[in-house]
Structure 1
Amino acid sequence: MVTEYLGNKLPGKTQFSGRRRTTTRTSGFKSHPDSTGGELKIEEVESILIPKGENVAITFQIPDHNSGDIVAFGGWYSCNNKIKIEVFKGGFGKELHTEPEDNNWSKFGSMATSNTYTNVLQTQVRFTALEDSYLALYEVGCGIVEHKHLEWAKSEKPILLRNMYQFAPESNFYSIEGDVSIELSFDSTQTCNVDIHLKSCNRCARFLPININNERHHLSFSNHCVADHRRPCSHSGFGKLKNIETDEIVQLEYGYQLECRFCKKFEVNAAHNPQRTAAQMKEDGARRRAFELLLTGIFGKSPQLMYREKSGGRELTDDIWLKFEKKCFNCLANLESSKEMHLDHTRPLALLWPLDETATCLCGSCNSQKRDRAPSEFYSEEKLIELSKITGLSLIELKNPSPNLNAVNYLINNLDWLFNSFCQKPELQKIRDGKLTSDLLLKALQKTLNKTDIGKKIDLLKLYRNRD
């Protein structure tokens, strides 16, 4: 089957699906008149030398509040990986902190809807030096949070608040601030200054921290151009930021979205998603199921069935849950049963890795946060070492973001099967919103092949159109 194309050249996203569909959604929100999202400014922050074995403890006291109030704490910090970070959650169910990384900023914090009455919640973050190390802190705070989007979510769509801890501290809009005390176990003597880079949000116009040295070490904005063939990001505002003080243009590798993660969640995603058609809502799920079906076709059996046969009848889900001691590997939340666990591929399904005994036990929030990222793009070095011990995958394997070459080679050597047999399956011939499921699969599959030397020489679309 060859699709006829009329008119102007189509963008890459529609190569498999005909014309781009007409616009069906508007967010109802507009960009801020004082910000394009492409502004940058640099501030100096004082850092202090923590001697080996000493620590800095930050105690947060949430002020008196009512049940149902949103409370939060958090901040940004800069140090190397010779400092151990401990977050004592207090009354918060979950917290988020990114591990320290040399020459980059990290963050910590949480947000939750309180179920207490006028009780003062207290939590603490402690930084302990394993070697002499510098530590810098930026906008550390706590308190009761109020914002029009959060108030709307509480009354209209509470599900949006379930994972709000992941958006601290950039979502911590304090209406009443709590007390923050910083205690040093040593006498402070040696300091120096470090830079923090702040990018504007084109929705709220705030300047929020980003990392320049490692843009994949996310803070307040998500990346814009991640695929190899799109880097460095050349889009103005996304990949080219203008210093508001010097007019210097800073070129980024991956670039950042124009909206901060908070505005992206509420002014873009929350506004757009309810307007999506049923077919649009199912598109990502259809693509994922097609990949799972493809791996079953390549290996002859489903991963669960292969594991059951190899293990003498045991279930993969139960074994992974027990292997990880019934806890989310990332946030250590207790999972009461294997049904509460989200079975993560560890190495992404999008890179053609099957779900097998190397899977990871995650909670729903952490699995959603990890998405289809490779382990090295989500976990710290320390967590990768721990994950290696549990899963049996070597550090080299966990740090290698490459596709499954066995699956790639099989596909390249069996293109007739892929085009004329697999893609013709009834479930892959379903059309949703003008898009053929098999076309969605081939488009995603091409991205995976492009990550390998042998695969980038293959043009699936051209071969598919020219097949007999």
Structure 2
Amino acid sequence: MPRRKTKNLTGLKRLKGIGKSVHQAWIGFVCLKCKNMNVFPVGLSMLSPQETYEGAQWKCSKCNFVHSKAYDLPFSTWPKEFIKSDSIKAQRFWQAFFRISTEHAESYWKQCNTCERILPFRAFDKHKGWGPLERQMECRSCKGAINAKLNPKRTKQQLFESSVKRRVADLLLKGVNQSIDIKELFRKFGRKCFKTGKVLDIKKRSTWAIDHILPSKWLYPLTTENAALLSREANNNKRDKWPNEYYTNNELIDLARITGADLSLLASKTPIINPNINVDLCVSRYLQVRERSNLKKRINELKQLLGSYKLTGKLSSKNKKLLGYR
């Protein structure tokens, strides 16, 4: 199945060699001798703190001082018993030095594929399954500019409302979603990502995902007929898009054949709210909150979603009164 070509709708040039390299992790450290900031790539996996301590030799790009457990510490004001490389004190320092830079994903750096800056972990938003750090390709600054281009008419409030809509829809469907037989799903899709054709390993859970073919945003629960096998990256690209927005016509036909889904529904050019949703049951389930939950906020979010989907008319008179409708 051919994959649609990615279109650059922003006009922004991206880092050359885009691909796996854009997801690689970088080490960032301050030279102990001259205090120069150093960064260098380490590939598509994070380093082992212990192995790094045992064998690393990180050379400063400015003063050439080598950061290694085999070297004395360059602190002229410290007593010799602390700076000699064969001392326990110095070795404890080196162990912590390398651990600080390698122990957690938050310790690493990443290169933005748009502005090309090498920035700390926190400068990128989360994108599960993308590289060892699971961060987006663009830094948050560039992402802000890109979103302004792609969503010029969407205000901050509208973007917030969209995210709320997805979250509330997921909560409304809690308890309706079916348990998916993973082995059967892999068998049905030939152990391949339906979108890209990439072979997937059932044991590597971080590399694949179960796609809501008809998104939960439009109040469709996860069922055997509404589940597709995608790679993590393909699933992140689809997100809550309506099937016709993401899949080609031939892919929609194949998808309907594989899953038994309604092809006319998949092929619809505009999203269709699930006509079989039991609104009253969803309301009862959604209002089952914990004691510390913000009940007023939850009611307002629910009313907002019901109103935007024009579902208030499907509420029983009892629930209309409960939610404050006149």
**When you count helix as a share of all residues, which structure comes out higher?**
2
**When you count strand as a share of all residues, which structure comes out higher?**
1
**Length-normalised TM-score, structure 1:** 0.36
**Length-normalised TM-score, structure 2:** 0.49
